[in-house]
Chains A and B, each alone.
Chain A
């Protein structure tokens, strides 16, 4: 389903590249010892270094380097053993030093790739251009005072990874899939929490359009879009705008634009363009960063299993469909929940649960209930072990899967175990022939005409009898046995 915009001058395709700023998970900032925690009092997580007091100097946080290297490895990217921190010089209210310490000519991570699962089992590979480390800026508040903006430097100096994709993205859907996949990888690695609401993941979106097969045309950069949905919308409206511009004989200008989610449009950020001369040069307060190959190897060896590998394993190990496996690994905690179910089981039968039904109960029943309740799996009232127990009761015919659904609902309500609920409500399946036979005889006796219909060959009426018997036994009778007995007794 390639994304094509029909114009008067023919078809247009959209070409998108994303620059994602991901906040590194760390206790302290990149070059100072102040905290990175979210939501503190203004300027309370600011050191003399973050406030760029005269004579203050940066000293790098080794954990941030480790996080960047891990992320590079997770993106199957080249780790550059030699990288350099440079100063990006510009004046802005939230940039106390008057420059941002970033990486430019020599980033810590080079080319890599991200695999996407798309609608209809399609896949796509999006190239990674580079990943570099840099300082976050502070925050300006413009709505507090009629003539002044207020500045809070709590974020200033927090470590960001800027992850730059190649212009390989061809549709809003691909952009969304790329962001979700990237976020999953970062969360699996524990290098970024991926919370776009809190701004720990922001995207700059580079959009251009062209007739298929053409050279790239001028792109516009949409700055700081803070949700997957908005990124997709922004691409859609910006692409439409550019097609409009080209087709009405205009020129798309290279500029930075803002996405107005309320109006659903992108707007040019007026700025003295000639002023954008960042005068990068190596930061003389720091030395080049050289990594030992052994250091990188050690991190590679201890890297956690990532979505793609987990998906492959779920398919091969549990025989899941690519689709089910994909759904499960999209969020690590979902995959973990499923795997906990699969590894459990009654004494002597550990790890023998049926994967297919486990997937169904997790992705259909549990996720359904959670969505309805607006809950996250993290605070699910049914622990993985408890769901497993329910599966075992079905497996050993203690309850029918119909009863199991009732039990599940009670479990979800109360958080009690399946066993207790079945006991208390006496929901055990009746498998004792005598008991079922009695019920069958009663029903037949009570309904002579229907019985005659069956005898005279109307097979459909059998189903009706099954229903009656089940009702009479409160649904606890084993349906197969009921069916068999009815056939024996009503056989003409």
Chain B
């Protein structure tokens, strides 16, 4: 399995990372090297082996249903690069 320019373009879009066209081939080469290298895992016999879900054998801790947070608009908005009043903003989305 080897990634083409087009595959790399698609993956880059999935990850929302702009890749210049002239970088696609070199990037495809790098990614293919890494993927080819990790594919050695296929040699391991994992029949009947459960995939690891968590390293620590713990049970999921739970919170009680109480309002203990929020109402910190200034804190959550303070770092916004393009804040408008108490809103975040993004380029207009047309639906």
Chain A residues with CB under 8 Å of chain B are 26-28, 32-35, 41-51, 53, 59-65, 84, 91, 93, 140-142, 144-153, 258, 269, 272, 274-275, 277, 279, 282, 284, 286-290
What are the residues of chain B within 8 A of A44 when measuring CB–CB? 70-71, 73, 86
Q: Determine whether the beta carbon of B61 is less than 8 Å from that of A142.
A: no
Expressed in whole angstroms, the Cα–Cα distance for A317 and B25 within the complex equals 78
What are the residues of chain A within 8 A of B94 when measuring CB–CB? 142
Q: Determine whether the beta carbon of B72 is less than 8 Å from that of A46.
A: yes
The A/B interface has a contact count, at CB < 8 Å, of 143
Stretch at the interface among B9-17, B32-40, B41-49: B9-17
Expressed in whole angstroms, the Cα–Cα distance for A210 and B25 within the complex equals 47
Q: A62-B64, A284-B54 are in contact. Are A47 and B69 (CB under 8 A)?
A: yes
Q: Determine whether the beta carbon of B87 is less than 8 Å from that of A43.
A: yes
Q: Which chain B residue shows the least CB distance to A31?
A: B63
Q: Determine whether the beta carbon of A61 is less than 8 Å from that of B63.
A: yes
What are the residues of chain B within 8 A of A140 when measuring CB–CB? 90, 93
Interface residues of B in 1-37 (CB under 8 A from A): 10, 13-14, 16
Q: Determine whether the beta carbon of B65 is less than 8 Å from that of A145.
A: no
Q: Determine whether the beta carbon of A33 is less than 8 Å from that of B68.
A: yes
Other A-B pairs beyond A28-B67, A32-B70, A44-B70, 12, CB < 8 Å: A34-B67, A44-B73, A50-B76, A51-B76, A63-B65, A65-B62, A145-B89, A149-B93, A275-B14, A279-B14, A288-B53, A289-B60
Q: Determine whether the beta carbon of B63 is less than 8 Å from that of A59.
A: yes
Q: Determine whether the beta carbon of A33 is less than 8 Å from that of B63.
A: yes
Q: Determine whether the beta carbon of B92 is less than 8 Å from that of A149.
A: yes
Q: Determine whether the beta carbon of B68 is less than 8 Å from that of A148.
A: no
Q: Determine whether the beta carbon of B92 is less than 8 Å from that of A269.
A: no
Q: Determine whether the beta carbon of A142 is less than 8 Å from that of B92.
A: yes
Min CB gap B52→A, angstroms: 10
From B13, B60, B70, B75, give the contact of A45 (CB < 8 A): B70
Q: Determine whether the beta carbon of B87 is less than 8 Å from that of A152.
A: yes
What are the residues of chain B within 8 A of A61 when measuring CB–CB? 62-65
What are the residues of chain A within 8 A of B77 when measuring CB–CB? 43
What are the residues of chain A within 8 A of B60 when measuring CB–CB? 60, 286-290
What are the residues of chain A within 8 A of B61 when measuring CB–CB? 59-60
Q: Determine whether the beta carbon of A43 is less than 8 Å from that of B69.
A: no
Q: Determine whether the beta carbon of B88 is less than 8 Å from that of A28.
A: no
B81 at the interface (CB under 8 A from A): no
Min CB gap A65→B, angstroms: 7
Q: Determine whether the beta carbon of A148 is less than 8 Å from that of B67.
A: no
From A35, A49, A60, give the contact of B62 (CB < 8 A): A60
Min CB gap B32→A, angstroms: 20
What are the residues of chain A within 8 A of B86 when measuring CB–CB? 41-44, 152
Q: Determine whether the beta carbon of A48 is less than 8 Å from that of B75.
A: yes
5 nearest A-B residue pairs (beta carbon): A34-B70, A63-B65, A33-B69, A33-B68, A62-B62
Q: Determine whether the beta carbon of B10 is less than 8 Å from that of A149.
A: no
Q: Which chain A residue shows the least CB distance to B70?
A: A34
Expressed in whole angstroms, the Cα–Cα distance for A93 and B92 within the complex equals 10
Which of B68, B75, B89, B91 has the most A CB atoms < 10 Å from its CB? B89
Q: A275-B14, A290-B59 are in contact. Are A27 and B92 (CB under 8 A)?
A: no
Min CB gap A36→B, angstroms: 8
Q: Which chain B residue shows the least CB distance to A84?
A: B53
Q: A34-B70, A93-B90, A288-B53 are in contact. Are A46 and B76 (CB under 8 A)?
A: yes
Min CB gap A192→B, angstroms: 15
Q: Determine whether the beta carbon of A41 is less than 8 Å from that of B73.
A: yes
5 contacts between A and B (CB under 8 A): A27-B65, A44-B73, A53-B76, A145-B89, A151-B90
Q: Which chain A residue shows the least CB distance to B62?
A: A62
Q: Determine whether the beta carbon of A47 is less than 8 Å from that of B72.
A: yes
Q: Which chain B residue shows the least CB distance to A92?
A: B93
Q: Determine whether the beta carbon of B53 is less than 8 Å from that of A148.
A: no
What are the residues of chain B within 8 A of A28 when measuring CB–CB? 63, 65-69
What are the residues of chain B within 8 A of A289 when measuring CB–CB? 60
Q: Determine whether the beta carbon of A151 is less than 8 Å from that of B63.
A: no
Expressed in whole angstroms, the Cα–Cα distance for A152 and B90 within the complex equals 11
Min CB gap B49→A, angstroms: 16
What are the residues of chain B within 8 A of A65 when measuring CB–CB? 62
What are the residues of chain A within 8 A of B70 when measuring CB–CB? 32-35, 44-47, 50
Expressed in whole angstroms, the Cα–Cα distance for A277 and B15 within the complex equals 11
Q: Determine whether the beta carbon of B67 is less than 8 Å from that of A151.
A: no
What are the residues of chain A within 8 A of B84 when measuring CB–CB? 144-145, 148, 150
Expressed in whole angstroms, the Cα–Cα distance for A146 and B94 within the complex equals 11
Expressed in whole angstroms, the Cα–Cα distance for A275 and B15 within the complex equals 10
Which of B63, B68, B71, B84 has the most A CB atoms < 10 Å from its CB? B63
Min CB gap B56→A, angstroms: 8
What are the residues of chain B within 8 A of A49 when measuring CB–CB? 69
What are the residues of chain B within 8 A of A152 when measuring CB–CB? 86-87
Expressed in whole angstroms, the Cα–Cα distance for A3 and B32 within the complex equals 55
Q: Determine whether the beta carbon of A32 is less than 8 Å from that of B69.
A: yes
From A42, A45, A279, give the contact of B85 (CB < 8 A): A42
Q: Determine whether the beta carbon of A150 is less than 8 Å from that of B66.
A: no
Q: Which chain A residue shows the least CB distance to B15?
A: A91
Q: A41-B73, A62-B65, A288-B60 are in contact. Are A147 and B14 (CB under 8 A)?
A: no
Which of B64, B71, B82 has the most A CB atoms < 10 Å from its CB? B71
Q: Which chain B residue shows the least CB distance to A85?
A: B60
From B67, B68, B69, B88, give the contact of A150 (CB < 8 A): B88
